[in-house]
Amino acid sequence: MDLSDAHLTMVSIDHVAHKVLTYIPYVLVLIDLRYEGVKCGRDGSVDNHMEMGKKLLAAGQLADALSHFHAAVDGDSKNYMAYYRRATVFLAMGKSKSALPDLSRVIELKPDFKSARLQRGNLLLKQGGLDEAERDFKTVLNSSPSDREEGEAKSQLTKSDEMQRLVAQARRSYSSQDYVTAAAQLDTIIETCVWDVTSREMRAECFIEMGEMGKAVSDLKAASKLKSDNTQAFYKLSIIYYNLGDHEMSLNEVRECLKLDPDHKQCYSHYKQVKKLNKQIRSAEELIQEQRYEEAVSKYEAVMKTEPNVHHLSLLAKERMCHALAQGQQASRAVSVCSEVLKSDPENVNVLKDRAEAYIQEEQYEEAIQDYETASKHSENDRQIKEGLEKAQRLLKQSHKRDYYKILGVKRNAQKKEITKAYRKLAQQWHPDNFQKPEEKKKAEKKFIDIAQAKEVLTDPEMRTKFDHGEDPMDPESQQGRPHHQHFHQGYQGFNPFGSGPFNFKFNHN
């Protein structure tokens, strides 16, 4: 082999190893140099594909290089260097599953190819195939290896022996239900056997028993990718998400299981349950969007009947019921349902906001302020919390002054018709002409003015909005210099709250 070929080969392998996957040993360079001149029975076409594959590999064009090595293998099924180079590209592309059968074919064609055997041993070790890896390393040691090959084989054999010891310990810990110890032992195993599906699945089971569902999900997701037909991993993922109240992720994972095996009994049974639940929840959310709050509450009650045994799903249903009730002005029920959720999840910002809104509707302003302040600790930049807190504080301050709703004896969510009806009744009751004694008449005049002002504020949308936000449209101080209604202070000659003609009296309110 001439110097230019040697140089090209070193650059190609070193470039890929450095740029693509640093874990590919530099031994590939030496192997290429060592076997470059070996005659493998190639015809001209195979020779051309091998040469083009080398050049493309040197340029970092892995997919194109792979195509040429595919062609070389197809052209000569006994060309062990074609398989070896293709395995090299697979490894550079991170496709160890594809590299492994090629390395096995190399060893079958040329049993004394020690570097291929070392490569296969390393892959098997990472996959958790400890017995097979050990056989490869021992074979290398018994085949007159070079110093480098001997050193690597001994090191990896020691590591494999250590992993086998740890696997046995982890299984004993798991069997004795010492899940914390088992998980720690499996941590060490997985650091070396990074593609070991069995160890990841066992560690996921430990995490489930320890209540660390996020870590269990991470291991099961890895296991579902490492093993192409891992229906059980998808089933377990779906169950975990379901128990966590994430019905959409649960549905996604169980569908992946059924893609692999449409007849999988566990997955199909679970799929029907999750699909029904998911449909109910979607329907309830649509009703909330349409402001059909009472129907949404009923739908979420149906959700809890569909799945009464999963705490997180019940909590989700109650959280959304709390929101729908608060939005639907059913304050008393909202406070009750929201409080149930907060017993289990005291830092739930959305529920704290909804209960605060319900408290405002119930005129329990101090409780509303407390909920908004708690919520703000967990969501500092939430504009809704800031505005709600300011509103509750204004309303608390206002509650110590005139409350037009209380004056008319109506709820804060009363319609205009209710307000007018209450006003007519009270105006008739407190009409000053109904009282003869000066003291009683003076008291009635003040009461009558309050009633009339309450009616004007609460039947005027703009004034009512101001009042609902803690500002008294009839209070000069509250108006801060803005124009406000004053004609009630001027006198009531000619004013008839019943619309049946002018009154025959005049009084002034100072």
Please classify residue 54 by burial: count the beta carbons closer than 10 Å to its beta carbon, then call 0-12 exposed, 13-18 middle and 19+ buried. Answer: buried
DSSP string, 287-298: HHHTT-HHHHHH
Contact 278, 272 (CB under 8 A): no
pLDDT band at 139 (very low <50, low <70, confident <90, very high): very high
In this model, does residue 502 exceed pLDDT 60? no
Contact 72, 79 (CB under 8 A): yes
**Candidate from 123-137, 190-204, 444-458 with smallest mean pLDDT:** 444-458
Q: What is the DSSP letter of 474?
A: T
Domain regions of the chain by residue span: 43-167, 406-469
Any long-range contacts for 148-153 (C-beta under 8 Å, 24+ apart)?
Answer: 148/27, 148/30, 149/114, 149/115, 149/118, 152/25, 152/27, 152/118, 153/118, 153/121
Give the CATH class of 43-167: mainly alpha
Other beta carbons less than 10 A from residue 473's beta carbon? 20
Distance of CA 366 to the CA centre of its chain: 34
H or E, element range at 4: helix 3-19
Contact 410, 418 (CB under 8 A): yes
pTM recorded for the entire structure: 0.67
Taken in order 177, 179, 184, 188, the sign of the CA dihedral is positive
Instruction: Give the model's pLDDT for residue 399.
Output: 76
The Cα–Cα gap between 389 and 353 comes to 10
Same fold, 43-167 and 406-469: no
Supply 286's token pair: 């649509």
The Cα–Cα gap between 408 and 425 comes to 9
Q: Tell me which architecture the domain covering 406-469 has in CATH.
A: Orthogonal Bundle (1.10)
- Residue 93: strand, helix, or coil: coil
Instruction: Give the model's pLDDT for residue 484.
Output: 44
**Integer distance in angstroms from the first to the last C-alpha of the chain?**
114
Q: Which range has the top average pLDDT, 56-60, 385-389, 496-500?
A: 385-389
Average pLDDT over residues 54-58: 88
In this model, does residue 168 exceed pLDDT 50? yes
In this model, does residue 20 exceed pLDDT 70? no
Please classify residue 2 by burial: count the beta carbons closer than 10 Å to its beta carbon, then call 0-12 exposed, 13-18 middle and 19+ buried. Answer: exposed
Instruction: Give the model's pLDDT for residue 439.
Output: 74
Q: What is the DSSP letter of 504?
A: S
pLDDT digits (tens, 9 = 90+) for 448-494: 998 999 999 999 999 999 888 878 888 776 655 444 444 444 344 33
pLDDT digits (tens, 9 = 90+) for 343-371: 999 999 999 999 999 999 988 999 999 99
Average pLDDT over residues 326-334: 93
